[in-house]
Structure 1
Amino acid sequence: MSESGPRSGDAPVVEAVHITKRFGSTVALADAGITVRAGEAHALVGRNGAGKSTLVGILTGLQAPDAGAVAFHGRPAPPLGDRQAWRRLVACVYQRSTILPDLTVAENLFLNRQTRGPGGLIRWRALHREAERLLADWPVDVDVRRPAAALSVEQRQFVEIARALSTGARFIVLDEPTAQLDAAGIARLFQRLRALRDQGVTFLFISHHLQEIYELCDRVTVLRDARHIRTAPVAGLDRQALVSAMTGEDVSLPTATPRPSATDAPVRLSVRQLRTRSGAELELDAVAGEVVGIAGGGSSGKVEVAEAIAGLSRPAAGSVAVGGRVLRPGSVPDALDAGVGLVPQDRHREGLVPLLSIAENVTMAVPGRVRRYGLLSPARRDALTRQIIDDLTIKADGPQVPAAELSGGNQQKVVMGRALAGEPAVLVLITPTAGVDVRSKQTLLTVVQDVRRRGTTVLVVSDELDDLRICDRVLVMFQGRVVAEKPSGWTDNELVAAMEGVDLDHV
């Protein structure tokens, strides 16, 4: 936990009390609330669907509660229509960036607030000077004339925080800010957040990674089933108690299970002299029923080699074979036909078609399983989807629910369901539990244990230690090369050290 706490006494920056919100027959919040004190980092946690997003929408003026009240610094919240007043009080940096890639950094910082001269023309020099001054104040080291599309995920987040602060707000909601950052990026983000807090900025921090809450936050509020469960100092709440508050029960995540010797098992996945266009290299044999992890930081090359194996990208050299069949490089259809299932890194961009139903998303890669006499059979499609909904405990009223209406954890289960619908011989999972709650994480990782018992070879590509604990062995990549192989039973310290390029045996 952070060593420093609130700096301005107990006066709340924001206080929401007795908040109730319904969407049709769905109760999103029921007599819930939160109090965030000035100068603290306050965590908001709960399973997907617990009501976090609805509460954030109310705290940021995007939605009005059906009952209850919100106050900032002891004064009632502004009317919803007064957006300027809301921007001066609170800002939100979302998991999905709101930076417009086709505009420059300066244009994004002052969108609709540009400095204008006579005739309403934008004064570009003044705009660039203001942008440079703003980024220097907070401080963010990027060229304000640079297109935002060229920024890294980490840089985009810093620009969004700077933009929020430029409106005068000193209360910032951070929604899963670490979901797409590696360990080094998370460390830099936390260092920046601590510095901002020293300058009087207050944060509401939303994360499914409980370790981050203990590293950064002073207090935590738990929501469950639309209700406020408890608020407590982080220092006085152990992890099991926090998980129990979130779920209403004890939850443990699966780890690697003892398995018979694989000496007689056939090689299911064979990767030979693979080299990606970024220069990452991999050599690997994995047998039927084996779970192999590939760990590493954001620049390790782990994602690039995984995408090459699944056909998402064409490698510069080397080959991939599944069950002895050499795959056509860079061909997703050929990989699917050979029995490769994939959960991609970004479910929003690569994993889902949000406007399509659960059934359409789950079965789009397996048309042969849902046809009858050469035509799509809605009955077969829905039957297969219902089975996947049951197996993965997807919280939805049925197969026809649009994927866009699901929580993040349930969307990720749909992506996993699509990967499993073809009964894959090889299952490639890239950061499979990013941005999901602890119960959804447990479900997704338990599914891996189930499919490996049926002989599926699983490749888990992640820097999340919980994801990697289910693996029989973990290959650690650093700067494009495999630098270590760790059998199950590794310690957190030794795996993290290897991911950071440190050999503990020679320290």
Structure 2
Amino acid sequence: MKFHVEARNVVKRFGPTIALDGARIAITEGETHALVGRNGAGKSTLVSILTGLQGADEGEVLFAGEPAPALADRDAWRQRVACVYQKSTIIPALTVAENLFLNRQSSGGTLINWRALQVRARELLDTYEVDVDPRALAGDLGVEQRQLVEIARALSFGARFIILDEPTARLDGPAIERLFTRMRSLREQGVTMMYISHHLDEVYEVCQSVTVFRDARHIMTRPVADLPHDELVAAMTGEATTAYEARLHTPGDDVVLSGEGLTLAGRYTGVDVSVRSGEVVGLAGSAGSGKVSVAETLAGLRRPDAGTVTVNGTRVRPGDVTAAMRAGLGFVPEDRHHEGFVPLLSVGENATFPIARKLGRYGVVFPRLRRAKAEEMIGALDIKTEGPDQPVGDLSGGNAQKVVFARALVDDPRALVVINPTAGVDVKAKQALLGAVEDAVERGAGAVVVSDELDDLRICDRVLVMFHGRVVKDMPRGWTDHELVAVMEGIED
């Protein structure tokens, strides 16, 4: 069997921490091979070694049977492998053409022929069927378009091995299907791919083989077609894991969060939302439905053109996050990297931002009080950390998301707005995060949950489905996947 990529007996240490312990993977030429495992299993470390960002302490990496280039030879690495990360590396202020040929704008001379650059970019985009204007600013592209541009850029270096790291975390259903279609087309052209995802259904849909890492070690590699779902989950967790079981809620009479007549041009029109204490209300829809914008409006992150938002009986000033939080709202934003936490600050600092004024006097936070509250939240959410002083940027994705939840819950809010709460986290972390929402609801809070994952919406007492900026249906608990997706895609009304 001819392997396109191999990592053999790789060991990587960071001080006393063993990130990879004799790990291995072998990917056949022209296949799409999944790498799965819980957060902290060693997936990200392996990616950094396979892309030449850091070297292994022991073991070796081979491309087509030949040793990997020296770490300093970046051009040689780019010709062999590229990674499309969950967090985009596209530069928003540059055009698509400039991003595609960054540091390669000139065709040999010292001056850049901009017209020729755009022609080269158009030819590259056409080759891989990417329908994007090369003159467009990259910052104006959607998530799906940015990913396709990154794939085209990777292939332009000559790389025939691409790593896709959580590529569907911020895509809706139709966009995911389009990505999978593009991946199948690339595979037919002989491109080898390693696919990293916490969504196991995607592994079965688009991959031929799967490798499981657990606790920094290789656990197994199997053909996807021969691997039952429960056996795959058991390999990842070391135990049999069942799906999260939603609890029954008892909504009260008090309305703790409402939006009336909300309208934002180009986003949504005439939206009414009402959430009672002890109730979970979902917002579902495709990427262009307006669901995220409505949630961000309820949290004060967006200012509507019309309508009012009321939190815990207080009508809050539109577009004012601080006012919403002071009225009793906790908020988990869509993008934890840009809006959820400050990576260089500690777990304790991030978790206690909303109550800093309560942890001291005269504008000074008392470290003893902050540490005590942070330790309480770390215990409540089972955050795997060295302690309150560890920078959040050092945590795995699932634990970083728990810190974002800690910040939202630290002041015991009466209302919660959470957007894509489990995106990019593992099975265990998903259960903990959904459980945290339900714990808050049992304490009397009301919650709005926005998610692209149907499993997240199963904790909801009802789901408001949005289509083209309007709420088209209020679906009570008990819906089937087919029923909900049909309404989301405008097939039913």
TM-score range, shorter-chain basis?
over 0.9
Q: Contact (CA 8 Å) 2:347, 2:388: kept in 1 or not?
A: yes
1:472 lines up with 2:472 in the alignment: no
CA contact (8 A) 2:88 2:146 kept: yes
Counterpart CA distance in 2 for 1:116 and 1:70 is 32
Letter in 1 for 2:41: A
Does residue 458 of the first structure (1) align with residue 414 of the second (2)?
Answer: no
Aligned pairs (5 A) from 1:245-264: 245-260=235-250, 262=251
How far apart are residue 469 of structure 1 and its match? 0.7
SS at match of 1:336: helix
User: What TM-score does the superposition give when structure 2 sets the normalisation length?
Assistant: 0.97
Amino acid of the structure 1 residue aligned with 2:316: L
| Structure 1 residue 126, shift from structure 2 partner | 2.2
Q: Distance in 2 between matches of 1:113 and 1:414?
A: 40
Match of residue 255 from structure 2: 267
Q: CA deviation at 1:279?
A: 4.3
Is the 2:267–2:293 Cα contact (8 Å) retained in structure 1? no
Instruction: Give CA deviations for 1:401-440 in whole Å, capped at 9, x if unaligned.
Output: 0111111111111100000011100010011111111111
1:20 aligns with 2:3: no
TM-score, length basis structure 1: 0.95
Separation in 2 of the partners of 1:389 and 1:361? 12
Task: Please state whether the residue corresponding to 2:56 is helix, strand or coil.
Answer: coil
* Cα distance in structure 2, aligned partners of 1:258 and 1:98: 42
The partner residue of 2:197 within 185, 197, 207 is 207
Alignment match, 2:179: 189
Partner Cα distance (1:318, 1:309) in 2:
11
Q: 1:377 Cα deviation (Å)?
A: 1.2
State the alpha-carbon separation in 2 of the partners of residues 268 and 311 from structure 1. 15
For 2:484, the equivalent position in structure 1 comes to 495
**2:43 maps to amino acid:** K
CA contact 1:256–1:472 (8 Å) conserved in 2:
no
Shift >4 Å, 4+ stretches: none
1:233 aligns with 2:223: yes
Amino acid at match of 1:272: E
Q: 1:230, CA displacement in angstroms?
A: 0.8
Residue matched to 2:65:
74
1:160 aligns with 2:145: no
Match of 1:30 among 21, 24, 31: 21
User: Could you say what secondary structure the match of 1:463 adopts?
Assistant: coil
**What is the DSSP-based 3-state SS (H/G/I as helix, E as strand, rest coil) of the residue aligned with 2:150?**
helix
Which segments of 5 or more consecutive residues in structure 2 lack a partner in the other structure?
none
Computed over aligned residues only, the root mean square deviation of the Cα atoms, in angstroms, reads 1.4
8 Å contact 1:223–1:230 — kept in the other structure? yes
Establish whether residue 292 from structure 1 lines up as the match of residue 258 from structure 2. no
Are 2:44 and 1:53 aligned? Answer: yes
Q: Provide the rounded CA distance (Å) in 2 between the counterparts of 1:211 and 1:26.
A: 31
Q: Is the 8 A contact 1:343 1:416 kept in 2?
A: yes
Give the deviation of 1:274 after TM superposition.
1.4
Structure-2 change in CA distance of 1:256 and 1:473 (3 Å): farther
- CA deviations over 1:148-195 (Å, ceiling 9, x no partner): 112111111111100100111111000111111111111111111101
Question: Following the alignment from structure 1 to structure 2, what is the Cα–Cα distance between the partners of residues 35 and 215?
Answer: 20
From the superposition, tell whether residues 219 and 117 of structure 1 become closer, same or farther in structure 2 (CA, over 3 Å): closer
Aligned to 1:444: 433
Partner of 2:299: 310
Distance in 1, matches of 2:154 and 2:216, equals 28
- SS of the residue aligned with 1:477? strand
Distance 1:299 1:307 in 2: 14
1:88 matched residue in structure 2:
79
> Contact 1:276–1:308 at 8 Å: present in 2 too?
no
Counterpart in 2 of 1:4?
Answer: none
The answer to whether the 8 A contact 2:42-2:213 is kept is yes
Contact 1:117 1:123 in 2 (8 A): no
1: CA distance, partners of 2:484 / 2:349: 39
The alpha carbon displacement at 1:141 in A equals 1.4
Give the aligned partner of residue 112 of structure 2.
Answer: 122
Q: How many residues align?
A: 492
Q: Distance in 2 between matches of 1:288 and 1:248?
A: 38
Per the alignment, in what secondary structure is the counterpart of residue 304 of structure 1?
Answer: helix
Paired residues for 1:318-329 under 5 Å: 318-329=307-318
